[in-house]
Each structure stands twice: as structure tokens, then as C-alpha cells.
Chains A and B, each alone.
Chain A
Amino acid sequence: MSVWRRVACAVLLLVAGLSLAANVLAPAGYAKQYREAADSGPSSAHWLGTDEIGRDRFARVLYGTRISLLLAPAAALLSTLMAALVGGLAGYLGGGWARGAMAITDLFLSLPWLFLLITVRALMPLNVSPLVSVLVTFLMLGLLGWTSAARVLCASAGSLRDSDFVRQARASGVRGARLFWIHVMPNLKPVLYAQFWISIPAFILSEANLGILGLGVAEPMPSWGSLLKELEGLVSVGSEPWKFVPLILLAVVVTSFQIVMSKQEEVAA
């Protein structure tokens, strides 16, 4: 493991650890409004100041990190499994199955996902708790984010289908699901791992985009997206560098994920 990869792993573990210790490090919580100290700078009471309605920014960063770091991998797992199912099977079966599955995948790819998410969000029931809104947001990301990975997996499974060891297994009488699970799937693992790791930062950024549009996680629950909304309008943040902390954290975490997953990509290649 290279030094950079070790550093990246350490950073991710540190960030994850801090976010999990949010209850201890920021006992006041993410929702309490200190209205007398709204939009204040860093102080001993509020290490990163408060937001526009007086909520402790440090607490919100920690809790927001916890949400993004816990749920982005969950959404990535869901999308990777769906990609494996659709892409892996299509590639393995080949012929009309593969063409049909890839046509559906292309159809999904051609959909403007942002508008699709906005539409799905608008159709959701209104009276859902913030926690449910978080889960739904990431669930939607997982359900809509499998398409690119499915194409990669279809191509990989297709090449495995005609490989010598699969032919040999087939000649030995191994057929159907057994052939797929025992001989094809284990060889798709490196690609699956790579797709999983690639999806995590993509989903973190997607949630951040939705949050900036006000369509992600519901108030008062924080997420990186809702925290990044504070950076709207450079004029208003130029003299308040502490407001950049969520952005820096996002950049550090996404970069760390990229460094960690570069190993997986090498393996997949």
C-alpha cells in the first residue's frame, strides 16, 4: 500500500470517527437555534461559528458528515448490486437479452437524472420525517445510479462468457445459475469493487447538488449539500473563510476515496 493510499485511508477513518463521535463532540446537537448569536464567527462556544439562524456549524458539519458517509456507501452498494444483476446477467446471457437490457440501460442513461429526482421528490408524500427524507434521497440516488456500472459489467461479463475456463466449465456440464454464480461472478468482483468505490463520491456529490437546490435532506437535518448552500453567492462569504469548511471536507473525502479506489481500478484493469 502506497503512502498516499495509507494517508487517504487514515483521513477517511478520522473523518468517519469524528462524525460518529458527534454526540460527544457537539452535545448541543445540529438543530438547536442560538438566535441571539445567529451568523456569528468562530468562538469558544461555536468553533466554526453559527449559521444564519444560529445553529452550531461544527455540530452540523459533524452530523452532516455522518449522514453523507453512512448513506452514500449504502446507496453505492444498492446501485452496484443492481448493476451486477442487470449488467452481469445481460452480459452472461448475451444475444437478445444483452441488447434488450442495454437498451433499457441506455434509456435510463438518457434521462436527465436531476429532473427525474426533482420529479420523484415532488411526488413524494409531504409529511415524512427528516430521517425518512434522508433515506429516500439516498435510495433514489441508488435506484437511479446503476446504469453506467451496468454497461461496464455487461461488457466484462460478455468477455467472460466466451473465455476458455467458462467453456471448459460448460463442457463439464455446469449450466445456468450455477455457472453464473460459481464461475462468472467471482471474476466480476474486481469490477464490482471498483464500481462501488467510484459510486460513493459520485453519490456524495449528487446529494450535495440536490441539497444546494433545496431538494435533498429535509430541515433541520444537515447534510453536506445543505451545508454547501451557505456558499451560494461569493459576495457573501468572501470575508468568512470558516464557511468553506464543509467544501474543504467534501473535497478531502472525495479525493481520499479517489486515491483509495485507484487500487481497485488497477485490480479491475
Chain B
Amino acid sequence: MKAPWGKVARMVRRSRRALLVALVCLGILGSSAMAQGELRFCLRSEPKTFDPLKVEDDASVAVRYLTGGVLVRMNRQTQALEPELAQSWKVSKDGKQITFKLRSGISFSDGTPFSAEDVAYTVQQLMDPALHSPTGDTFRSGPGNVETKIFSPTQISITFPAPVAGLDRQFDQVAILSAHSGKKEMAVLGPFMVADYKPGATLLLKRNPNYWKTDAQGRKLPYLDSITLDIQPNRDVEMLRFKRGEVDLINSLDSEYFDKLAATSPQLVHDAGASLDSEQMWFNEVAKAPLPQYKKNWFRSATFRRAISEAINRADLARVVFRGHAQPAVGPISPANKFWFNAKLKPATYSPDAALKALQAEGFRMENGELKDREGNAVVFSIITNSGNKARERMATMIQEDLQKIGVHVNVVTLDFPSLIERMTQSFDYEAILLGLTNVGLDPNEQMNVWLSSSENHQWNPQEKTPETPWEAEIDRLMQAQASSADAKRRKESFDRVQEIAVEQAPFIYLVNRNALSAVSQRVQGASPVILVPQTYWNVERLSVK
């Protein structure tokens, strides 16, 4: 009997081919899906809403970023505007109208098709005064109604009653809602969708099966299968869980924790450089404040404010309080804001001698190590800050010692936050305050409420009926000019001048810009933390985990 070796050999060859084909198929399938596990990180508070138009708190902003589809997106790394659901767009010369050309063939997470009708619906909802949308507020530059005109399912124009500065950039925050889906805001166009929510515990996001983007190799995005967001307000617990490998990312890391982690695992921590956030102090310049007149005179003197500013060692604040993870502040805008920062401004110098000379020229004099004004009043004032914020308490204590060198005696007072806000906004019963400003957006329009003299948040002297000083009047004029112009160059010129006035007059004494510190587990691939929010997961659709 002849052994069927030829048949066996043929079968083996066929099997090999079949195996090869199977492997190739698997490879193709694998590369097209590349679903890559679950990412975990913490939200520091409960998201207050899933409606992207009502978002106000940080946790809801994070959920909106992960789930919402937007027409244009500011690239957090380059700070340039990039097309998303809109292929292209055009802003009219008067800054009132924007026309979008939309992508076609896109569906919401529930399968409802996306078209210009959804954009029109979203904009009408956004601008509905009854909704009180904080995002909508940034588009309200004048009285009247917004008009939308649909030219085709992929083309729409939106006309606002008054020019909106940086109109196209504002759409980075507008997640498009479906006009027709029964799932309302839970039907999304972003890379992830809300799958499960356990209040106080976790929020589970699953990849949106209808997400439209692909990578350069044609693979569908996002790479991740899901994201679990643990609601964890305690920073210590978040840090411990990161160390144990239970969470993959930490945003806005404290400088102390950063250094501790860097000492053991330097490959996990990232210092992206100066962020947009600043720490600052200011004097009470409110005319009706319950303060002695001589103190009001000090605080309303630009020379006095500049001298105090010059006597503060900002480099030490950055080096000691923030362990080198902060930069001495130059002015109202952080150098991290590439376009709007006025590069002509010079960093504040530290010179107690020059500060003392300037004060002496104003009639102040030193007597037995104590600075006294023209009338013989000792220069003593208090700085209040919010209790529990270790960095601010330390800064205030260091400023106390710095100012002692020019004979100024400072009392540091820490108050609970509601008491501090009450003194700051209601009774005006304070002398100086040290607080921080968190900037999320880059556009100066987001600071309108600080710079306009009539504004409630014009902290050193809120709600002035008319500007009380010529320089405040000039700031008002410049801020309004930049807000009503669509010409980026002219806007920049106006805002550069605002920054110069702010430095000359020192209504705010800018101290430091904190660095954007974060930690990323080695499990996560594709992360490149940046200074803008959300630091670590700005490119979430391209992140994967090992």
C-alpha cells in the first residue's frame, strides 16, 4: 500500500495558505479596529450636567470634551484652530456672521444622521435666554436675535446681532446636539458616549461606534474601548491610586506631589511649562470701602502699588513655594498664551532699594526700620487669602518677609472662602487680597468681566458707574475696541496696550504663573501633555493603553 504522502503534503500546503490568509485577515481586522482597552482617571467632582450647553463646572467640561462633537477644535498643542465637523468656515469682515461647510456622511452615536439642521438647532438652543447657557454668554455681544440660514444639508450661515470677537474660536466649546434624536444630549458626535453613570462613584464612557474620524492609516478612532472616570475629590487618594496603577492620568498635579513622584518615577511626570493660570494680589481701591482715608490714598497710588510690586521677590516665590514649577509673572497674560501675550513687556524686577526710593519720592520715610507716610502713619496692611490653600498661605508669608525689608508691616490673614468673597464683593472690608485666576480660554474676551470698569469682577474697584481714573477709561475703550473688531491684528494691538497699562498701573500685582504639571502612567501610549486643559488627554482619540 502506497502511503499518500503527496496528498498529505498538499493538505499541509493548503492549511499553511489558509493559516496565512487567516493571519493576514486577522492583521487587517486588528489594524482597522485597534480597540485598545480602558483608560482610567479621576474627576475631582461630580459632573453637574451632561447637557453640553449648560456646562459650567470642570467635571462637566471634561465630559463635554470627551463626548461632544464640535465644528472646529483648537489644537491644544499648537493653539491653532482645526476643522472638525466643519470642513471649512468663513467669518464675515464685520465679525457678525460665520458660514460653515460641513462634512457629510456623519452620524450621531445613536445612528441619527448629522446635518446643518443640527447646527441650527444647537445654535438656537445655545442662544435661548431661557436656557442661561454659560457657553452662550460668550456669543452675546449685543441685543437682538441670532439668525441661522441653511443653504444645504452641509452648508449653514449663522448671523449674530453684533460682532463677536474671535467668533470661530468660540465654537470650540459648542458641542453639536441632534435636532431629531430621541436620546437628546446623550446622542453625541464625539469619540466617546456616556454608557453608565453611578453618582458619587464612576462614570463609564464607551467608544462611539459611529465616530467619523480615522487615523493616517485609515484605522477608526478612537483607539480606546472605554474610559472610566472615578469621582474622587481627594488629591491624596488620587495620587495613591495612581501609584498603585489604578488610574492612568493626573491633571494639574501639585508641585509637591510632582517632586515626590519625580524622585521615584521621573518617567511618569510631565512639566509642560508655564500655564495660563496666575497668582496675583491687589489692593482695595473702592472709594466707599470702610478703610481710613490715608490707607485709601496709599492703595490708589500707582507709585505705591508699583513699589510694593518691586519689593516682592517673585523668583523666590516660584522657586520656593512652587519648587521651581512656576514662572515669575510678567503681566496679565501668561507667556503660555502664544498669540495674545505682549512679548514687549519686561519681567518685573526685584529691587527693594528701588522700591524704597520710589516710596521716599512720594513722601514716605523710614523711621527705626518702619515705613511711615507723609502724615506719620506707619505702613501696615493685611493680606487675606483663602484658608487651606497652602501655596497661597506660603506666598503671603514670604511677601510678609519681603516687605519687611522696606519697613512695611504685613498681617497675613487666612479666611474661609465665603467670608473672603463676602469681604471682596459685598462689604469691601479688606486691604489686600491674594488669590489666583484660572484661565481656560486664550481669547482676551474671556477677561472682559475683569477689565471693564463697570464689571462686578473688576476686583480692585468693582461696578464703577463711570471709570474713576483715565487709565481705566482707556482700558474700557481698548477692551471694547478689541471685542467689536474681527481683525485679529487690530485686536492684538488693542490688547497689547491693555497689558502695558496693567503693568504700568499695577491694579493687580501679578506674582507667578504656575506650570502645567501632570502624571501619565506608562501603560498609556500616545500621551503628550500640554499646558491647556485638558492637559493629558487633549488627544484622547489617539490614546491607547498597553
Indicate whether A28 reaches chain B with its CB closer than 8 angstroms.
no
Contact across chains for A235 and B240 when beta carbons are under 8 A apart: yes
The CA of A265 and the CA of B331, in the complex, are separated in Å by 63
Say yes or no for B489: interface residue by CB 8 A criterion: no
**Option from A121, A215, A218 in Cβ contact (under 8 Å) with B411:** A218
**Is residue B381 within 8 Å, beta carbon to beta carbon, of the partner chain?**
yes
- Contact call A214/B381, Cβ cutoff below 8 A: no
Min CB–CB distance B70 → chain A (angstroms): 37
| CB-based contact A236/B387 at 8 Å | no
Q: Is there contact, CB below 8 Å, between B382 and A126?
A: yes
Q: Which of A213, A218, A239 has the most CB of B within 10 A?
A: A218
B323: which A residues are within 8 A, CB to CB?
Answer: 39
- The reply to whether B393 and A233 form a contact with Cβ atoms under 8 Å apart is no
Cα distance, A233 to B390, chains bound together (Å): 12
Segment from B160-168, B413-421, B469-477 that makes contact with A: B413-421
Of the residues A38, A39, A126, contact of B413 by C-beta under 8 Å: A126
Considering the chains assembled together, what is the distance between the CA atoms of A53 and B317 in angstroms? 9
Which chain B residues border A129 with CB–CB below 8 Å?
411
For the complex, is A17 an interface residue (Cβ under 8 Å from B)?
no
Asked if residues B416 and A118 are in contact (CB atoms below 8 Å), the reply is yes
| Cα-based distance from A229 to B256 in the complex (angstroms) | 14
Q: Is A262 part of the binding interface, using a Cβ–Cβ cutoff of 8 Å? A: no
B256 shortest CB reach to chain A, Å: 5
A53 touches B390 (CB 8 A): no
Instruction: Flag whether A35 is at the interface (Cβ < 8 A).
Output: yes
Contact residues in A for B256 (Cβ distance below 8 Å): 52, 233, 236
Cross-chain contact of B400 among A127, A220, A235 (Cβ < 8 A): A220
Q: How far is the CA of A51 from the CA of B411 in the complex (A)?
A: 20
Chain A residues, CB < 8 A from B320: 35, 38, 52-54
Complex CA–CA separation, A121 to B192 (angstroms) = 48
Instruction: Name the distance in Å between B71's Cβ and chain A's nearest Cβ.
Output: 42
Query: Nearest Cβ in chain B — how far from A130, in angstroms?
Result: 7
Q: Indicate the size class of the contact surface on chain B.
A: 35 or more
B398-433 contacts to A, CB under 8 A, are: 398, 400-401, 411-416, 419, 429-431
- Residues of chain A from 235 to 266 with CB closer than 8 A to chain B in the complex: 235-236, 239
Contact with B along A20-50 (1 / 0, CB 8 A): 0000000000010101001100000000000
Is A128 interfacial (CB 8 A cutoff)?
Answer: yes
| Residue on A nearest B398 in the bound complex, by CB | A53
Nearest CB of A to B208, in Å:
36
A118 proximity list for chain B (CB < 8 A): 416, 419
- Interface contact B415-A236, CB-CB below 8 Å: no
Interface residues in B302-321 (C-beta closer than 8 Å to A)? 316, 319-321
Contacts beyond the supplied A130-B411, A219-B397, A235-B239: 17 A-B pairs with Cβ under 8 Å: A31-B401, A33-B397, A33-B398, A35-B320, A38-B320, A118-B419, A121-B415, A126-B411, A126-B430, A127-B381, A214-B393, A215-B414, A215-B415, A219-B400, A219-B412, A233-B256, A234-B236
Task: List 9 contacting pairs A-B, 8 Å CB cutoff, sorted by A.
Answer: A33-B398, A35-B320, A118-B416, A126-B430, A214-B388, A218-B414, A219-B397, A220-B401, A229-B390
Can you list the 5 inter-chain pairs with the closest CB atoms, starting with the nearest?
A: A214-B387, A122-B419, A126-B382, A214-B414, A219-B412
On A, residues with C-beta under 8 Å from B are 31, 33, 35, 38-39, 52-54, 118, 121-122, 126-130, 213-215, 218-220, 229, 232-236, 239
